[in-house]
Amino acid sequence: MRLLNKAKEELSWYEEHYGEELLADGENDNPIEAEEKGTGVVWESIQGETLDSEEVKPVEEAEVTGGTGEKVEAASEGQSATGEPEEWDGVRRVYITFDDGPSTSTNTILDILDSYGVKATFFVTGKEGSEYADIYRRIAESGHTIGMHSYSHKYSELYESLGSFSADFNKLQTYLYETTGVWSKFYRFPGGSSNTASKVPMEQLIDYLNHENITYFDWNVASSDDRAGINKDIIVANVMTGVPKFHEAIILLHDAQDKQATVEALPEIIEQIQAMDNTVIVPITEDTLPVQHISNSQ
């Protein structure tokens, strides 16, 4: 009952701040069907924005979203559904996270992070070849956190069954360990934990990760950098609209070859965050309070 009341409080908070219409904004009811038709689009609605897709509709006008997690269910003990701690020590922690890499952009991103003395988190996919192995190792050796984002990133295969999900998971975890020596303990579901692509109830996949002692992370600040045609100014505005709303801000960015605007936006994002009072940029660790759109604590 306590968790149910907490979930209701969180839902009321979202409605008050963002309105019922944004919470109810539509998702693609059949993202796998869209993918099979050759669009390559898997929709993930975060405050009405699409995220973590390979290709999305062009941006027709500059629009600032500052998005947050769309689904609010039961919250875990000690946190809200957005990852906010029940007690705050006065320091805002900002986690810059990148999905979908490594790519030809990763080394440039790492150069930028190094130049500002910033550590980030990379939720990587499985890519073989010496050029990618070098990037995985550089991420780890530079002190950044390596998280998992599935080996294949193919929704129709990954989410076909619990067996296919676990096989993909084990393949990536083992590959990363053999390549970097890091036994990753962090995961981000492709499409997020609130995706509608999975043929398996997400609670079952979450149970599986819990059994494997893996913590999954969603996000509460959406850059919308996966939208085709978006520019760096909109990405920066989206991020800096979202970050001040949270004591624990997890930013979703993408590390992909076609995300040049993300690379261009990164220095300004870092500079603006570093200029904020009582704010630090840190990588995800075992002490990080996770943002989880769907909580398995019932």
* pLDDT at residue number 25: 36
* pLDDT at residue number 233: 98
User: Average pLDDT for residues 177-205, to the nearest whole number?
Assistant: 97
Prior bond of 102 cis (ω within 30°): yes
* pLDDT at residue number 228: 87
Helix (H) or strand (E) holding 40: none
Taking only the tens place, the pLDDT of each residue in 269-292 is: 999 999 999 999 999 999 999 999
Asked whether the predicted pLDDT for residue 119 surpasses 50, the reply is yes
Residue 165 in tokens: 């999900």
Give the pTM.
0.75
Report if residue 294 sits inside a domain: no
Asked whether the predicted pLDDT for residue 127 surpasses 90, the reply is yes
The alpha carbon dihedral of 39, 44, 45, 48 has a sign of negative
pLDDT band at 254 (very low <50, low <70, confident <90, very high): very high
Which percentage of the chain shows pLDDT scores above 70?
A: 70
Taking only the tens place, the pLDDT of each residue in 204-234 is: 999 999 999 999 999 999 999 999 899 999 9
Report if residue 96 sits inside a domain: yes
State which residues form the domain around 153.
Answer: 2-281
User: Average pLDDT for residues 193-206, to the nearest whole number?
Assistant: 96
* Contact residues for 192 (Cβ-Cβ < 8 A; gap 6+): 44, 46, 51, 52, 69, 218, 219, 293
What residues does 75 pair with on adjacent strands?
A: none
Report if residue 289 sits inside a domain: no
Taking only the tens place, the pLDDT of each residue in 32-84 is: 333 333 333 233 333 333 334 433 333 433 345 444 444 433 333 444 455 56
Pairwise CA distance, residues 139 & 127, whole Å: 14
**Count of domains in the chain?**
1
Report if residue 291 sits inside a domain: no
Asked whether the predicted pLDDT for residue 145 surpasses 70, the reply is yes
Report if residue 51 sits inside a domain: yes
Torsion of CA 84, 21, 229, 246, to 10 degrees: -10
Q: Are strands 45-46 and 49-50 parallel, antiparallel or unpaired?
A: antiparallel
Of the CA atoms within 13 Å of residue 32, those in its CB half-sphere come to 13
Torsion of CA 286, 170, 137, 215, to 10 degrees: -20
pLDDT band at 87 (very low <50, low <70, confident <90, very high): confident
Report if residue 295 sits inside a domain: no
Report if residue 197 sits inside a domain: yes
> Taking each helix axis from N to C terminus, what angle separates 202-211 and 162-180, rounded to the nearest 10 degrees?
40
* pLDDT at residue number 33: 34
Report if residue 290 sits inside a domain: no
CATH of the domain at 38: 3.20.20.370
